[in-house]
Amino acid sequence: MIVGKLKKIVPLTILVAGLLSGAAVFAADAIKIGVAGPHTGANAAFGEQFWKGAEAAAKDINDAGGINGSMIELVKADDACEPKQAVAVANRLVDNDKVVAVVGHFCSSSTIPASEIYAEANILEITPASTNPKVTDRDLKNVMRMCGRDDQQGTVAGDYIIDKLKATKVAIIHDKDTYGQGLADATKARLNEKDIKEVLYEGLTRGEKDFNALVTKIKAADAEVVYFGGLHTEAGALIRQLREQGSKAVFISGDGIVSEQLVTAAGGPQFVEGVRHTFGRDPLTIPDSKEVAEKIQANGYKPEGYTLYAYATTQAIAEALKNAKTTDGDKLADWLKANGANTVLGKKEWDEKGDIKVSDYTMYVWDKDGKYKMEE
Amino acid sequence: MFSKPNDPPMLTAFKDSSLVGMIALLIFSPISGIILNGYGFNTHPQTPIMLAFIVFIGRFAYQLAALTPWGQRLIQKFMLSKGKRGVYVASPGDQRYLWIILAILFIAGLVLPFYLSKYYLTVAILALIYVLLGLGLNIVVGLAGLLDLGFVAFYAVGAYTFALGSQYWGLGFWSAIPLAAAFAALLGGILGFPVLRMHGDYLAIVTLGFGEIIRLVLNNWMSFTGGPNGAKAAEPSLFGLEFTRTAKTDGHIPFHEFFGTTYSPNTKFIFIYLVVFLVACLMIFFFSRLRTMPMGRAWEALREDEIACRSLGMNHVTIKLSAFMMGAMTGGIGGVFFAAQQGGFVNPTSFTFFESALILAIVVLGGMGSVVGVVVAALVLTILPEMLRDFADYRVLIFGILMVFMMLWKPRGFLPIRRPYFTKEGQA
Amino acid sequence: MEFHILGQQLVNGLALGSIYGLIAVGYTMVYGIIGMINFAHGDVYMISAYITAICIAILSFFGISSAAFLIIITLIVTIVIVSLYGWSIERIAYKPLRNSPRLAPLISAIGVSLVLQNYVQVSQGAKTQAVPTILPGVFRFGTETDFFQITYIQVLLVVVSFASMALLTYIIQKTSLGRQCRAVQQDPKMAAILGINTDRIISTVFILGAAMAAIAGVLVTLNYGSFDFSVGFITGVKAFTAAVLGGIGSLPGAMLGGIILGMSESLFSGFVNTDYKDVFAFSLLVLVLIFRPSGLLGKPLVEKV
């Protein structure tokens, strides 16, 4: 707690003293890697996951001798999930901080414009979390991702609804954002492909808390399954209001709700019981990642959601830098696409576009204690 | 509160500061001292005590300063700018060196991009875009006195005209500028019409509503605008030369290949900078001339007293509409540059209400109606948050504090409006 | 259309509308007295959500579990602290701008809004916070399958909103303080000449507005359970819309505007389309203002020559 306190006091003192320049002095041969995501604003929780994951990875790599003798130094970059800031911060990373690679961004709507900047500067960008297909569908060689694509995730969810739940009345709700709507549309496409027409397809507004009208509508449509594309804040409120109004529809969502905060947002574990979501294979089933996860946890941060993805992304970048012996973004990307990388999430391989070759999305289910585990 | 009239001044100051410190402690304690953790909490008593202590010291220093004569003078000076009301009239001497200064600034602005790194270049472009937006809103709010909280709508329309235009009809960068201007102006006219009857803050909320409606429609109309996935605009080009590594449009050649130089990602931004800089200069010139013309003076007259103007036979409908359309047009042009600066990708998240508030802050902080003031404020409010990046998580907090402080310091804006000075020909 | 669905949507709208109404009061009172849009008001409401959660957490820590006791203590503590916030904000950011151009305090309010949001984010973290369910239970009407319901919290919400509105109306209409408020609203200069301490009255108005936002914060937090540092913005904009719809400066107007806005959102969302509910709400506002330029219950603006 004392350390946490110091962390808060130090920037404040800097603030008061009015020192405008960064205080730390770095080794001359450090390799800089940017960690870009929302560190302020409504999605700051995800930025924190990125930072904690990347920080732990950088520390472990440095402790093991760094990249061919050079230490990794991370640069935090805040885009607040605003496209305007994403471009500014991308340029800052490229020009001022002279990073050789970027872990980020989080929101697809930030990743897309920022990746144009990295492409022009020929810098490798790997996003741990942006699942929108457009991120890699634009023929930018240096843009890759550590997570799957919305269409892969939607397929898994769609098949699950049809094959496992054998549901025919599906309500599809999204949050009208690049990620949420993309995911909802992917699932909808899969369902429609298999001749299931959704009973409801609507968008709610992010930041609002009252979805009662929508919930009543879902009930009126007699939906057996509610598929939601969006993040845990809205998902939590939606689940609670569904249950409060007595709906028993199965609630399914994607990787955007993977955070224990879903339980708090929903108002208690009794509400999230039976909620399902798609997510990559549980990293904690891999021995390596379990160890890493425990190490992060020991430092007082619960490695949830994208923490290990950011860890893995940093590892992949480090591996490419170590073996390709260049900082040329295209060449680094080529190397990764040719050789793959051993990460905390297991061996990862990429296709020509920069997408993960094997999508390992599976279905998770939440229990009555507010924990999620892979469904058998 | 608990000081007696015959206390020594030092003691009074101390007591007063303690009281203020105590209130601060009460205010800071729950939020920064008790941190929620699930349904439980952790206590961090040091933070609120430290914050309250800072407030106490600050207050005490202020009180002590007020006891010394030089401190009093300082405070007086700070307060002085507040009492002044009414409109200044520029004195004839003001104009003497103006042209030389302007020429130097203009040349400096032209040379600047070649010495900037790409990051500062993008920030500079953004700042210039906000200069354009500020100038546009300045007409509506500053000159015509119509409080518009939905200005971002025209900005969005400009950006989307370019993006959707190039997606569906192959619209290029250059043709998008006049088209976006015309389209935004048209929209300004359409939106302006129903709100003419409304006054002051009713107008504000209706324009806010329009701004939100436009954003929501852009977001929801998936099949046409691409919804939250955004839309992609064409690469800006100059006589068929593009500034990218490889040409994106058929028939275009990359700039560096044509001239046989090596590729630099800066070229594109230098190009955008130069165009937006020239357009901004043109607008500044246009608007400063406009103010001395009958149209501009009609706006100001209407702002000061609508009834008097109408009784003098001025047509308030055309005057207000012209202000709305002129402002919207400038906002639309700003949107085109924004789309170009964003690498062609536009998405409704860039056009939230906060953006309108920021533009309004530029106009008010600049000194309502003052063209130079708006330019200065736009530069300050866009460059400041970038400068504060070193504060990481405290960035926006500090920006907010500075915004309040700037307003308290200069309530009439950095450079309050000055009425142009007129003489008969041959005199003065 | 089935009756129970309509009934449920009306309940949804009423609950949502009462919240809008409570927060709208803060806007309407401040606007009435100094003619400024207090953009930070939504964030004052956000602060009250945090104070509520903190208060409940502390009380539960000491083993208090009686719902009535919890809610009453929380209400009192939140009202006191949030009123203090309202008062300090006015003193620091608006009072020095009393004689400045009309838009200066508006910008300063935007700054305050940023400060409050980020102060909370920096100290409490960006994650979603929540309170446990305190008062579970519902009233259900109808058959086993076709029913509409109103939760206890929703009942509490509507009752407390209307009660506090009634109390506030009483204060403004019948007490000496209220008369002073109205005097300052009508003519601040004349009120000052007649010996009314206008600064104190303005402070009081900010405190009253903040107190109403505090009540809203407690009720909303109990009702929806979760909140984060950015909830103030959307609710603030909606409440402001409600205030204008009802006629800014009018207390019953604020409540009426809130209810109409809540109802129209809920009905449009329930029977037409959720994507466009805000478009509908704003269009409704524009339409009302075109035909009644001073809102539903606002006094028509007298143009002085």
Residue C96 to residue B217, Cβ atoms within 8 A: no
Residue B412 to residue C58, Cβ atoms within 8 A: no
A43 to chain C: which residues are within 8 Å by CB? 126
Nearest to A34 by CA among A73, A84, A64: A73
The answer to whether the CB of A179 falls within 8 A of the CB of A107 is yes
Q: A-contacting residues of C 89-148, CB under 8 Å?
A: 118, 121, 125-133, 138, 147
Q: Is 50 exceeded by the pLDDT of residue C33?
A: yes
B244 to chain A: which residues are within 8 Å by CB? 120
When scoring A200, A201, A217, A218 by the number of chain C Cβ atoms within 10 A, the one with the most, hence best to mutate, is A217
Going along chain A from its start, the domains and CATH numbers come out as 26-148+286-348 (3.40.50.2300), 150-279 (3.40.50.2300)
Domain for residue C166, yes or no?
Answer: yes
- In degrees, rounded to 5, the angle at the alpha carbon of residue C245 between the alpha carbons of residues C240 and C251 is 75
Residue B399 to residue C114, Cβ atoms within 8 A: yes
- Whether residue B397 lies within 8 A of chain C, CB to CB, comes out as yes
pLDDT value of residue B395: 81
Residues 6+ apart with CB under 8 A from B70: none
Largest CA distance in chain C: 66
| Residue B419, strand partner residues | B89
Both tokens of B266, joined, read 């800066």
Residues 6+ apart with CB under 8 A from A226: A170, A171, A173, A218, A238, A242, A247, A249, A250, A251, A252
The residue count of chain A comes to 376
- In degrees, rounded to 5, the angle at the alpha carbon of residue B208 between the alpha carbons of residues B203 and B212 is 150
Higher pLDDT, B3 or A116: A116
pLDDT value of residue B102: 84
A212 to chain C: which residues are within 8 Å by CB? 8, 12, 15-16, 266
Long-range contacts (CB closer than 8 Å, 24 or more residues apart) made by C57-64: C57/B34, C57/B36, C57/B39, C57/B40, C57/B41, C57/C131, C58/B34, C58/B41, C60/B39, C60/C132, C61/B40, C61/B41
Averaged pLDDT, C37-57: 92
The answer to whether the CB of C53 falls within 8 A of the CB of C129 is yes
Write the DSSP string, B124-175: HHHHHHHHHHHHHHIIIIIIS----S-THHHHHHHHHHHHHHHHHH---HHH
Going along chain B from its start, the domains and CATH numbers come out as 9-83 (no CATH), 102-419 (1.10.3470)
Write the DSSP string, B372-394: HHHHHHHHHHHHHHHHGGGGGGG
Domain for residue C88, yes or no?
Answer: yes
Residue with tokens 């058998």: A376
What is the pTM (predicted TM-score) of this model?
Answer: 0.86
Higher pLDDT, A15 or C33: C33
pLDDT value of residue A14: 43
Global ipTM: 0.87
pLDDT of A49-66, one tens digit each? 899 999 999 999 999 888
Nearest chain A residue to B43 by CA: give it: A1
H helix and E strand count, chain B: 17, 9
CA distance C176 to C164: 18
Nearest to C26 by CA among C261, C239, C285, C252: C239
Nearest-Cα distance to chain C for B221, in Å, is 10
pLDDT value of residue A13: 44
Domain for residue C204, yes or no?
Answer: yes
B265 to chain A: which residues are within 8 Å by CB? 117, 120-121
When scoring A20, A50, A91 by the number of chain B Cβ atoms within 10 A, the one with the most, hence best to mutate, is A91
Q: Is 90 exceeded by the pLDDT of residue C217?
A: yes
CA distance A138 to A149: 14
Domain for residue C269, yes or no?
Answer: no
Q: For the CA atoms of chain A, what is the radius of gyration?
A: 21
Nearest chain A residue to C16 by CA: give it: A210
pLDDT value of residue C44: 94
Domain for residue C289, yes or no?
Answer: no
Write the DSSP string, A30-77: PEEEEEEE-SSSTTHHHHHHHHHHHHHHHHHHHHTTTBTTBPEEEEEE
Q: Which chains touch C (3 or more CB pairs under 8 A)?
A: A, B
pLDDT value of residue C304: 47
pLDDT of C236-272, one tens digit each? 888 988 998 998 888 889 999 999 999 999 999 888 8
Q: Within a 10 A sphere around the Cβ of A349, how many other Cβ atoms?
A: 13
When scoring A215, A244, A302, A304 by the number of chain C Cβ atoms within 10 A, the one with the most, hence best to mutate, is A244
Q: Which amino acid is at B52?
A: A
Nearest chain B residue to A111 by CA: give it: B345
B246 to chain A: which residues are within 8 Å by CB? none
Number of domains chain C contains = 1
- Whether residue C199 lies within 8 A of chain A, CB to CB, comes out as no
CA distance A215 to B244: 48
The residue count of chain C comes to 305
State the residue range of the domain holding C179: 3-244
The answer to whether the CB of A303 falls within 8 A of the CB of A52 is yes
pLDDT value of residue C41: 93
Q: Is 60 exceeded by the pLDDT of residue A353?
A: yes
pLDDT of C73-123, one tens digit each? 999 999 999 999 999 999 999 988 888 888 888 889 999 999 999 899 888
Helix (H) or strand (E) holding A127: strand A124-127
Domain for residue C78, yes or no?
Answer: yes
Residue A202 to residue C16, Cβ atoms within 8 A: no
Nearest to B355 by CA among B214, B223, B234: B214
- Whether residue C72 lies within 8 A of chain B, CB to CB, comes out as no
CA distance B340 to B329: 17
Confidence of residue C208 (pLDDT cuts 50, 70, 90): very high
Averaged pLDDT, A162-191: 89
- Whether residue C234 lies within 8 A of chain A, CB to CB, comes out as yes
Domain for residue C212, yes or no?
Answer: yes
Q: How far out from the chain centre does Cα B255 lie?
A: 33
- Whether residue C16 lies within 8 A of chain A, CB to CB, comes out as yes
Residue ranges in chain B modelled with pLDDT below 70: 1-5, 78-96, 200, 240, 244-252, 260, 419-428
Residues 6+ apart with CB under 8 A from C62: none
Largest CA distance in chain B: 87
CA distance A152 to A146: 13
Nearest-Cα distance to chain B for A110, in Å, is 9
Nearest to C279 by CA among C293, C294, C269, C292: C269
CA distance B160 to B334: 11
- Whether residue C227 lies within 8 A of chain A, CB to CB, comes out as yes
Q: Is 60 exceeded by the pLDDT of residue C189?
A: yes
Residue A233 to residue C129, Cβ atoms within 8 A: no
CA within 13 Å, CB half, B90: 17
- Whether residue C64 lies within 8 A of chain B, CB to CB, comes out as no
Nearest to C20 by CA among C245, C275, C225: C245
CA distance C231 to C110: 15
Domain for residue C283, yes or no?
Answer: no
Interface size between A and C, measured as CB pairs under 8 A: 120
B377 to chain C: which residues are within 8 Å by CB? none
Average pLDDT along chain A: 83
**ω into B44 cis (within 30 of 0):** no
CA distance A125 to A142: 6
